[in-house]
Chains A and B, each alone.
Chain A
């Protein structure tokens, strides 16, 4: 085996400041005539410079550079709307480029529904500064006061004198602004950002933002012209596959090969084994040969410690946890003592997978001056740094280019495909394309962690919530990838601190209600010995919605109140009340006590309501379901989802995000659970990990509560907790019994139904 750092050194990778040779040309639209061509230098470009964000071309179009990637959620369109609005340009005049560590600004990860919430303001500021600079240029040209200028579609004219007009392209086409953003306004967790001193356009004058503009990415997706990472082919490349045990084993044990029988693939033409540390891959000239080689390669893997497949939740509760008091408001204990009624129970939620519809894929070319990697990462700069760390080179010697793959809903398999491709390309000295097989993706995902909750809440004799307590057990996730760990022979420790979602999310656990006392405690379970975890869309909020909102519903039932009326009575703010009312009105909610219409019919029907969010935004949902009392099958018939995400930049995109969230939540509520035996994960494909199918899909009615004067907040995951809650509460309405564990499979439903006392008629 070659010593990789020497191999790299021989190829001149470590030379500083060498010219960048990219074997790939259809990547970046270069701003013509700009003094330093984009792509020549390792990024990130300076976020304080307008030129890092915007280039105006001679034909009066603009290229907008931003650091949030299109994952199919439609953020490209919305970000262009934001830039175009401040610049007074129309959509047809705007273009964006792929994310690229030599080209686009570092705006952090495209995660936590941050594209518009956190990615929008700096872009808006840069566009406002650019517009001011253009006005200054026009004012100087016409020798008039800036205040006398008006702008239409990127043409600046002197008011009342239409002959005096000039386009942006004529003013600055393909030249740099050389203007800095001013007025510091840090925007964590993205790198330090600086906002515009230039005036921002008042929302009352908006013509693009707030409009349901068709998505710019859809036409090319529909005519199959859109180039996805899986479509890329490099001259002279080999096809690679990773070779891992089928299904991950206990976290911390790695994947250690005791022996690798290279002769076992000797009959496959051109196939060979590539190793670095414990990492094993195969390469071949033909893709099908690589697939066969990965399947056929005989490896004896070292035994690993057993997984707690008998009772995961008992193991979590019994583990040595670290406690964090997330919220401690008022005197909870006294509140419960004073309560006229209280309700409480233990709730359980499973490991669930990201499982992008196209498994991860990446291409790497380490044969030139730099390692160039194309992949579908959610954060190009972080991927660049991890590749550099594994290869033992400086970050500047790695260039990562984003190509869209399938929606990933969190970071599926992190940078594993990109790292595998880079390792293999260095080793074989040729470009390598790595495509994960379905079992690699299912079996080695960083799953959304399982969750165990003890929840209770209490009310006074008037039905006012007075005490609330949530204890949650879960593990977190690591910052680094499986391939990083096995190639370097390390176990990356769990991340601590940072995202709210590693500790119990305080916003999703009771924050929507007026509560004089509330306590939320996080019990951090060590991940070692369990499965790899990561943030899965609306991380753990489905659990919080399931547990917390069923508890609220139970109290409404105790005092024989309609669940909507009970929530209205106890709601904590206008914005929560407004989404609640919006969803109630749209679903034509009629007031009645839950489970007050039970029958002995074979098909029981029920409806439920719930609130929830992830961060900042406000979500409410209503579900109508049917329960087959003979088979235990639940059918979600209709869902209504209301979302207040502040200013919805593109309401139809927000609507499609609401629909997607609610369908995905239905799938996770009813079907999804990562299964494992005492050794490894056994959910390795769509049969062993069923998801919601076409014919099982509910009708979904999305409602956007538009707030033109509020800052935009997240819209990609904030109605999922509410949806889970509504489905669970609808189950109680239909059956008179509660589900305390999901997914709500037929078996679990039959078990729960068996415990109920059958009503008469």
Chain B
């Protein structure tokens, strides 16, 4: 049933308030002086399209880059929710389903990651939803333009977007849309964008997956799928999209962010179908629905907590600041530290073999060949790489005269290579 304009406006306003509240929560819970959480934002602060956008906004508004890095994703999150809501509504879905899907999306861990941190996929998702919104509004030219903007934010999202467009075009017999958008792939070759590594490949957020999906969303979406499956092949398009996004997530786990948009819809459908189904026990029905809703909320809240306590901590930020002041030199560390080290303006180097070598000659040969001057070692690295043991490079650093401690705090030690030990 179509709701009145007033009702829709009130709903949109509520969605905006809830989105802003949820997305700013990790920042509010995070100690005031800490910058952004995670690794990727530090890459985007220094290079790539996002860095350009932030500098541009900084130049014209005068707002600090860090504040912009926090505010822009939240604004994009609001846009995303409004577009998601509009796209579902225009697709003539049941209004309850539209509303519930939007609410589940807001509290989904994947959405909170996407718009709670500075992230290229946040831009891509908004552009993608905007494109589909424009298609539904019959403004196909404008919609296609969005597909030409997506490659600016990374090659993988561009390929995923085109794949989804291909499925949409085939389904709606508008193959020309895909053909017109296809040349946007050339942009991938023209633009110097870097594929950022995923530092965590766990696909379920409740098991510690940074880009992962909430377990209750997955479980509920299975009920949604079961509901759709009753109509067998009528929803082939959805199965196809899910399968392709699952396949993509094997190559880049961040593709789960796109899958999340589909799964929240299915989860809402699952929840509605379960509530509409006639249950033999009303008590169990009410309790089950309550548990599912609570599970969805718990997953989201737990993820907010995780994000607010995520690295970098104060010690890492202090070391980044200190690194800015030391003489030029390459810094060796684990790959996951690359964005932080590069944010300090120093060149990052890594080599897996160096972590485990016990021989000083071998270690020095690598260090000299890679022109390493500093070595960044922190507590998390000590646990994850060396299992808390003083072995490999850690042993050499401690007992060889070739290294000296340049700076030390409670979490990070910056070692420096001694030129003439």
A and B associate: no
